[in-house]
Every structure is written in C-alpha cells, then in structure tokens.
Amino acid sequence: MHTDTFTEDDEAGAHLATTHLLSHGHRRIAYIGDMVHLSTETKRVEGWRRALRDAGVDVDERLVASGVSDRESAASALERLRGIDDPPTALFSANARSSMALAHVLRGRPMPYVGFGDFPMADTLTPSVTVIDQDPRRIGALAAERVFARLQPEPGVDLDEVTVIDVSLVERESCGL
C-alpha cells in the first residue's frame, strides 16, 4: 500500500530563518521549540545548527529551549535564556504555536525573532512577525492532485511517495528591532 506524504523543507526553512537573523548581525540566536523529538523539529534544530556553523558561529546548546507551547512556558524559557551569561540577542521559533506564545510574552521587552509558520494576525502585531511561510494551500492542492493521480494512474508514471515543498521567508518588522 502506498502512503503519500507532503512536508515542508524543515531544515532549509530553519536555515533560512537563522541566516536571516545572522544577516541582521545576531550571533546569539536561541532556538525555541515545542517537541524537539518530532521529525519536523529535529530537522529544524539541524537547520538552525547548520546556519550557525555555516556562519562560523559556535552552537551553544544552552540556547535551545524546548517544551514551549503556551505563554507560561514561553515566559519561563525567555527568563532562563535571558539569565544565562551571554544571552541570546534574537530568537528562532520552530512553530506557530511557540511563535504566538512568544508574541505575547515579548510585549514590553521585544527581541528580534523569526517564526516557522505564519499564524493569524502575525502581520498585524506590533512589530509584525517575520515568518517562514509553509503555504498550506499549496500543500492541500498538491495532495488533492495526488489523490486524483492515484485514482487514475498513468501507465509508466511513478509517483513519489514523499514530496518535500520549498518554503520562503516573509520579511516583516520583528527582525529589525
């Protein structure tokens, strides 16, 4: 039985986000995630690490904060990160849930950040949040096309079971703080 999977290029997206923050002069960029043991976040952590290494920046594992899924855990993670010697100057948030929690917690004490995945009102917040766009409509359209292709297969056409979709950076204000 064939199972089709559509996923974003998680590692490349994290690399793009981190590289964007590096281009703004940041060298201490924290990774904020929820469940870093999941395959998507594992790839995002690796993209964050690779971007830092590519820029000649040492990877400091103390800058990884996991379990961030709500305002309380975001506040706790930020408090811990701000309390270490040589704290981060910017954040990469690995998912929309973490980004939304950070948006609330960063009010009054903003810090530059990029989130993986756009979320409602990210463009209307002050500052508006720079994100890695996953384009869920495109994923849905590709999945629907695949269903029809599986229902009426063309002879000699082999369909990939795993489709990795490119992501893009939507630059907003949150990196220019």
What tokens appear for 22 in the block?
């590096």
* Per-residue pLDDT at 103 exceeds 90: yes
**Which of 6-10, 19-23, 30-34 is the least confident region?**
6-10
Query: For residue 122, what are the CA distances in angstroms to 30, 58, 68, 95, 174?
Result: 20, 30, 18, 13, 10
- The pLDDT of residue 157 is 65
Using the 8-state DSSP alphabet, how is residue 63 labeled? G
52 neighbors 18 (Cβ within 8 angstroms): yes
| Interatomic CA distance for residues 145 and 163, integer angstroms | 12
- The pLDDT of residue 20 is 97
* Per-residue pLDDT at 12 exceeds 80: yes
* Per-residue pLDDT at 174 exceeds 80: yes
78 neighbors 105 (Cβ within 8 angstroms): yes
**Which of 26-30, 37-41, 119-123 is the least confident region?**
37-41
Burial class of residue 139 in the structure, from the number of CB atoms within 10 Å of its CB (0-12 exposed, 13-18 middle, 19+ buried): middle
Which is nearest to 2 in space by CA: 164, 159, 141? 159
**Which of 2-6, 16-20, 165-169 is the least confident region?**
2-6
- The pLDDT of residue 2 is 62
* Phi-psi group of 25: left, alpha or beta (phi > 0 → left; psi -120 to 50 → alpha; rest → beta): left
- The pLDDT of residue 7 is 85
**Which of 7-11, 18-22, 81-85, 159-163 is the least confident region?**
159-163
The 3-state secondary structure of 109-169, one letter per residue = CCCCEEEECCCCCCCCCCCCCEEEECCHHHHHHHHHHHHHHHHCCCCCCCCCCEEEECCEE
| Interatomic CA distance for residues 14 and 51, integer angstroms | 8
Summarize the chain as % helix, strand, coil (round to 5): 40, 15, 40
